[in-house]
Amino acid sequence: MSDTRQVFRQRIEALREEIRHHNHRYHVLDDPEIPDAEYDRLMRELRALESDYPELVTADSPTQRVGDAPVSAFGTVEHRLPMLSLGNVFSEEELRDFHRRVVERLELAEAGEHLAYAAEPKLDGAAVSLTYVDGSLVRGATRGDGTTGEDITHNVRTIEAVPLKLLGRGHPATLEVRGEVFMPKDRFEAYNEHAKAAGEKIFKNPRNAAAGSLRQLDPKLTAARPLDIYVYSVGFVEGGELPAQHSEVLDRLQEWGLKTCPERAAVEGIEGCLDYHDRIGRRRDSLPYEIDGVVYKVNDLEMQRSLGFVSWAPRWAVAHKFPAQEELTTVRGIEFQVGRTGAVTPVARLEPVFVGGVTVSNATLHNIDELHRKDVRVGDTVIVRRAGDVIPEVVAVVEKRRLKGAKPVRLPKTCPVCGSPVVREEGEAVARCTGGLHCAAQRAESLKHFVSRKAMDIEGLGAELIEQLVASGQIETPADVYALDREQVAALERMGEKSTENLMKAIEASKETTLQRFLYALGVRLVGEATASALASHFGNLDGIAAASEEALVEVPDVGPVVAAAIRHFFAEKHNVEVVRTLQERGVHWPTFEPATAKEEPGALTGKTFVLTGTLSAMTRDEAKSRIQELGGKVTGSVSKKTDFVVHGDRPGSKRAKAEKLGVETLNESDFLDLIGPE
């Protein structure tokens, strides 16, 4: 070998070592030491050298993960030791039986109480076997039927967390490890999101995603799937020694660069197992990967050997399953529920089924689009899922079991609670009841809004009191707030004399208000504070707004056709008009004024539109807004081309970025203060 070639050979080896080290830090330990750009630089250098000296390329070089061409079919692999399955237990009682049998067979008697188990999450992915010869990965295989699996070497090589070469030294000449390949939940979601957008096939769950990805003929496809692995045992070993305890074996594998589950733990006796099951069970939903139970293994390998096997499962290990999160049941009916904000949501009434640890008899279908997409019909057999505290949902229909004559479900035209029309605005997934103040389902929520600080500002009438008043039927509409008498108020829970007095005073005081506040308080959909203020200054009085056509409404700055339609809907509803009239009869009043168009003196900021973002130090955002409005300017919530200025305080967020993108002028706090001048 020439001298220069020798030098490059050494450089190549050094680069590989370094890259392997960083791969391990990044993909196995999740603790990178160098920035990605530096890693990329090392890889580029190695690639360049390998392309100059192709004869120096080896299969375990970090550049060779996706090296192979697609295969036309999978080869088969005979497992030197069978890949076993596990017995399952579903209850504490069954687990105690398992433990008793272990203790009896090992003749441990009293000492059984302290028997050491290795406990690990039971991962929901696909089992694989990886064989290393002299530290280099030579074979990856699926479990198959336990005796014969498929050769998926080309695919497991693409999983970054699988070392192509083991770290450190002292590996047995032949070392077969076994583990679970899985797709972490967040990567699964992101993958599906992406696939959906690209019109590609999506995976039902992370397990299918992992198993399906491993069975690709083209390793490039597998490489594009975000897979991960935890190894959980060793298979065939030759030419080397391993420690005597299962947990120590896994520690050793971890040292050699193989990834083991960070949740694994050594526990003592049955109580230790139960405690572990409980602990992991409570964290199940927050773990970054899917699990369907925990596995306990007698930790001592000598004991494992003496316990042996029954047919396909070891006597020394057991899976303690969590309740299934998906089950089949049938749909008894589909009803539409009206939420507190008027959203009309389809709900499936189900034949009760035990799933995710509870009996489920209702499942949300989210919205009408979702209902149609899943095409759920009455009588259908469906897969129901309940994970953790999440609301149970219908995952899919088992179409093969659909009854003849089952009809698609339609959105009702009228609200099932109050009979008002149900509308669905363009581009909106959610259908809504237009009943507003009149609809019993929306009462408490609209009342909370009505009394809130920026609306009628009735201090002391909090959410709890409102719930009580609504539940007892004492209040149906906001107008009833002004019909409450002292005795009624005093009779509410936790109301003393003083608080009754204060609340009565607050109610009385709130009668004197402004048109802007009153409009906002009515809770017309899409009419926030800014719109209410714009409407008030444009029309100057309520009758004008109530009678305005959509054409007249869109004249108002900040009011588009959708908002105009929502305002029209509101005032077209007899009940709403009735409530407004009663409120006025009961003493709610505000000054009317000449519409803004007739104003003589324009302010310094007339015609200018502002968006405020971030925290200001000299004043609150509300104060800034009032100042702008006093000077004739307008404040809106979102940045568009029509925005004149974006005022940003501390931690501005995305609005400033958007302004910069659209070329809208941005002002920091001191620019802004200069602009508005002294008060």
- Give the residue with the Cβ less far from ligand IVH, 295 or 298: 295
Q: Cβ of residue 201: shortest distance to ligand IVH, in angstroms?
A: 24
User: Looking at 122, 259, 321, 655, which residue is catalytic?
Assistant: 122
Position with the least CB separation from ligand IVH:
127
* Count of residues near ligand IVH by CB under 6 A: 15
| C-alpha radius of gyration, the chain, whole number | 34
| Piece of the chain touching ligand IVH by CB under 6 A; list 115-123, 330-338, 477-485, 523-531 | 115-123
Task: Confirm if 647 and 615 have CB atoms less than 8 A apart.
Answer: no
Minimum CB–partner distance for residue 142 and ligand IVH (Å): 10
Residues 116-145 close enough to bind ligand IVH by CB under 6 A: 120, 122-123, 127, 143
Q: How far is the CB of 301 from ligand IVH (least distance, A)?
A: 12
Secondary structure of residue 626 in the 3-state scheme:
helix
367/387 Cα distance (integer angstroms): 20
User: Rule CB under 6 A: which of 195-224 touch ligand IVH?
Assistant: none
Regarding 232 and contact with ligand IVH (CB under 6 A), the answer is: yes
And the tokens for 490?
Answer: 């005093």
Strand residues in 6-159 grouped as ranges (E)? 76-78, 87-89, 116-123, 126-133, 136-142, 148-150
CB of 231 to ligand IVH, least distance (A): 9
By C-beta, is 61 or 233 nearer to ligand IVH?
233
Determine if 229 is a binding residue for ligand IVH (CB under 6 A): no
Closest distance to ligand IVH from the beta carbon of 475 (Å):
56
Smallest separation, CB 180 to ligand IVH (Å): 5
231 binds ligand IVH (CB under 6 A): no
Q: Is 122 an annotated catalytic residue?
A: yes
Question: From the CB of 149, what's the least distance to ligand IVH, in Å?
Answer: 11
- Conformation bin of residue 170: beta by default, left when phi > 0, alpha when psi is -120 to 50: left
Smaller CB distance to ligand IVH: residue 80 or 340? 80
β-strand 343-355 against 431-433: which pairing, if any?
antiparallel
As measured in angstroms, the least distance from the Cβ of 383 to ligand IVH is: 22
Pick the closer one to ligand IVH by CB: 116 or 224.
116
Q: Helix 3-23 and helix 36-52: axis angle, to 10°?
A: 150
> Largest alpha-carbon pair distance within the chain?
104
Span interacting with ligand IVH, options 4-12, 14-22, 84-92, 433-441, rule CB under 6 A: 84-92
Q: Exposed, middle or buried, 322 (CB in 10 Å: 0-12/13-18/19+)?
A: middle
Query: From CA 374, how far away is CA 334, in angstroms rounded?
Result: 13
Q: How far is the CB of 191 from ligand IVH (least distance, A)?
A: 21
Nearer to ligand IVH, 292 or 351 (CB): 292
Residues 233-272 that bind ligand IVH (CB under 6 A): 233
Q: Does 371 bind ligand IVH (CB under 6 A)?
A: no
Interface with ligand IVH in residues 289-348 (CB under 6 A): 295, 314, 317, 319
Among 58, 85, 468, 541, binds ligand IVH (CB under 6 A): 85
Burial, 426: exposed, middle or buried (Cβ in 10 Å; 0-12, 13-18, 19+)? Answer: exposed
Stretch that binds ligand IVH, among 17-25, 82-90, 505-513, 608-616 (CB under 6 A): 82-90
Contact letters for ligand IVH, residues 168-187 (x by CB under 6 A): ------------x-------
**Pairing between β-strand 136-142 and β-strand 126-133 as defined by DSSP bridges:** antiparallel
Select from 19, 86, 164, 301 the one that contacts ligand IVH (CB under 6 A). Answer: 86
Residues in the chain: 679
DSSP string across 145-170: TSSEEEB-HHHHTT-TTS-SB--SS-
Q: Is 84 in the site for ligand IVH (CB under 6 A)?
A: yes
Numbers of helices and strands, H then E, in the chain: 24, 24
Q: Pairing relation of β-strands 665-668 and 645-648?
A: parallel
DSSP string, 217-280: SSHHHHHTS--EEEEEEEEEEESS---SBHHHHHHHHHHTT----TT-EEEEHHHHHHHHHHHH
Q: Which residues are catalytic?
A: 122
Which residues contact ligand IVH (rule: CB under 6 A)? 84-86, 120, 122-123, 127, 143, 180, 232-233, 295, 314, 317, 319
